[in-house]
Structures are given as structure tokens and as C-alpha cells.
């Protein structure tokens, strides 16, 4: 605020514009000078991390291996392998998509930036729709229901950590409709506004935040949280998670469209 007042004074003194116009110009300059990219990356990763799709698959994996206490260590390592594979898969997909978007934005940077902002708002509104009208309109911001039996067969068949890792690489492709929205928005923003090196560092941070709740679930279930309680919690909070994701995505889209990032 002090910065805005100082800028108002300087602009009014040396440019001769009206105080109201000076105020607007100064505050816009102050906002433009703020680096909101780290905040946007953390918010995007956090809302992506609370996505119910990964929770459902991970809980199913752990439950299928925790049939008795003798499998507890295997379940732990399978869960850790699953989480690691998600990190690797999404990081590599992010690098590939980032390179594509960077090449595209060289020609259509301004239009592309507005497209990313509009996409964030649209995805946010669809998530909010799923809070008030779950699955309404024949569209759901989750893994399509027809894919779920295949995913379940893959996950239930896991019997060791290597299997958990390999299965996760395949399942990551199924999860794309559920998780790609925030990821694409953040990647588009990074492609437009940061260097390649900074983008890759942000990408690492994004994916660490993304898998953190999965790691937490693995450890909680290893130390005694029952699969039934974990799944019941997920079902109870499902619509709320959609609402949270929707509100943050809409806000992020507005910030992007406003040029504040």
C-alpha cells in the first residue's frame, strides 16, 4: 500500500495527470511488479493434489494389498512405488507439453495467454457444477466411468513394489482427464512468462506438491488407517473437493486474464 501511495505521488508530480489517473497508473505498476508466478504454481499444484481420482486409485491399491498384516511392508513399498511413478510420469509429460507450448507461444503469445486464462475459468465452472449438480449434463470432471473397471483390474492385480510402479505409469494416462486441467493452465502460464530453466524448477516443485497427499495416504494406511475409513472420507468430501478446485481455478483464470501474472 505504501508503495502505491509513493508511486501515486511521483506520477502526479512529474506527469501532471489527475490524482485519480495517477492512482490507477501507480497501482497497476505496483501489481505488475509483483511476481505472482510462485503463488500461482503452488495454488495450482495444491488444488491438483486434492483431486479425488488419485485418492481412489491409491486407496484401492493399498486395500488390495492390506488383506493381512504380512503384506503391510509390501503395501507400503507398492504405495511408494505408485507415488514415485505418478511423479515421474507427470513430470515427463509436463516437460513434453511445456516444450510444445513454448514453441506455440512464440507466434501466438498474447492470444494463447488469454486462452489459458479462459480455460482456467471454464474448468473451474465445470468443477463448481459438479458440486451443485454432480455428474449433471452427462459430464463429470473425473475419470470417465467406463474406464474405471479397467483401472480397477490393473490396480487389484498389483502384488509388489515394481508392479505398483509400472501400474502407476499406465494408470497415469487414465487419470489425465481428471488431473490435466490445472496442470495445463500452469504449464501454459509458465510457457508464456518464464525461462525454460525456471519453468523446469517450477515443474519439479509443482509435482512434489502434487504427490504429497498421496504419500500421506500411503503412510497413514501403513500405520493403521483402515481402507474403509479412507474411502468413506474420500466419498464424503468428493463434492467439496470439486468446489474448492473450481473456486481456485476461476480465481486463477481471472488473475491470468487480468494480466497480474
pLDDT, tens digit, 9 for 90 and up, residues 62-93: 887 776 555 778 888 888 888 888 899 899 98
Give 199's contacts (C-beta < 8 A, 6+ positions apart). Answer: 98, 102, 190, 191
Q: How confident is the model at residue 9 (pLDDT cuts 50, 70, 90)?
A: very low
Model-level pTM greater than 0.95? no
Q: Please indicate, yes or no, whether residues 105 and 186 belong to a single structural domain of this protein.
A: yes
Q: What's the average model confidence in pLDDT over 133-137?
A: 76
Query: Does 6 have pLDDT greater than 60?
Result: no
- The region of weakest confidence among 84-98, 156-170, 236-250 is 156-170
CA atoms within 13 A of residue 194's CA, in its CB half-sphere = 22
Q: How confident is the model at residue 105 (pLDDT cuts 50, 70, 90)?
A: low
Q: How confident is the model at residue 253 (pLDDT cuts 50, 70, 90)?
A: confident
Which helix (H) or strand (E) segment is 17 a member of? none
Q: Please indicate, yes or no, whether residues 88 and 175 belong to a single structural domain of this protein.
A: yes
182 by Cβ neighbours in 10 Å (0-12 / 13-18 / 19+) ranks as buried
Q: Please indicate, yes or no, whether residues 105 and 195 belong to a single structural domain of this protein.
A: yes
Domain enclosing residue 25, as ranges: 1-34
Looking at the structure of the chain, the number of domains it has is 2
Q: Please indicate, yes or no, whether residues 10 and 61 belong to a single structural domain of this protein.
A: no
Neighbouring CB atoms inside 10 A of 111's CB total 10
Q: Please indicate, yes or no, whether residues 156 and 194 belong to a single structural domain of this protein.
A: yes
Q: Please indicate, yes or no, whether residues 126 and 26 belong to a single structural domain of this protein.
A: no
Query: Does 258 have pLDDT greater than 90?
Result: no
Q: Please indicate, yes or no, whether residues 104 and 5 belong to a single structural domain of this protein.
A: no
Q: pLDDT value at position 4?
A: 40
Amino acid at each position: 500500500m505504501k508503495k502505491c501511495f509513493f508511486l501515486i505521488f511521483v506520477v502526479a508530480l512529474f506527469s501532471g495527470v489527475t490524482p485519480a489517473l495517477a492512482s490507477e497508473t501507480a497501482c497497476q505498476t505496483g501489481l505488475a511488479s509483483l511476481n505472482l508466478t510462485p503463488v500461482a504454481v503452488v495454488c495450482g499444484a495444491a488444488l491438483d493434489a486434492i483431486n479425488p481420482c488419485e485418492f481412489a486409485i491409491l486407496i484401492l491399491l493399498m486395500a488390495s494389498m492390506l488383506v493381512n498384516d504380512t503384506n503391510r511392508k509390501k503395501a507400503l513399498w507398492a504405495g511408494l512405488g505408485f507415488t514415485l511413478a505418478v511423479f515421474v510420469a507427470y513430470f515427463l509429460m509436463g516437460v513434453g507439453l511445456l516444450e510444445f507450448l513454448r514453441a506455440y507461444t512464440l507466434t501466438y503469445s498474447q492470444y494463447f495467454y488469454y486462452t489459458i486464462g479462459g480455460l482456467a475459468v471454464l474448468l473451474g465452472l465445470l468443477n463448481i457444477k459438479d458440486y451443485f449438480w454432480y455428474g449433471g449434463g452427462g459430464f463429470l470432471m473425473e475419470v470417465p466411468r467406463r474406464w474405471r473397471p479397467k483401472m480397477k483390474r490393473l490396480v487389484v492385480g498389483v502384488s509388489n513394489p515394481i508392479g505398483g510402479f509400472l501400474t502407476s505409469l499406465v494408470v497415469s494416462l487414465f487419470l489425465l482427464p481428471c488431473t490435466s486441467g490445472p496442470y495445463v493452465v500452469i504449464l501454459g502460464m509458465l510457457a508464456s512468462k518464464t525461462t525454460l530453466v525456471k519453468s523446469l524448477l517450477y515443474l519439479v516443485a509443482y509435482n512434489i506438491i502434487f504427490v504429497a497427499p498421496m504419500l500421506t495416504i500411503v503412510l497413514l494406511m501403513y500405520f493403521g488407517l483402515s481402507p474403509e475409513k479412507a474411502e468413506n472420507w474420500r466419498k464424503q468430501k468428493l463434492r467439496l473437493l470439486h468446489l474448492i478446485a473450481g473456486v481456485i481455478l476461476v480465481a486463477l483464470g481471472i488473475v491470468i486474464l487480468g494480466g497480474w501474472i
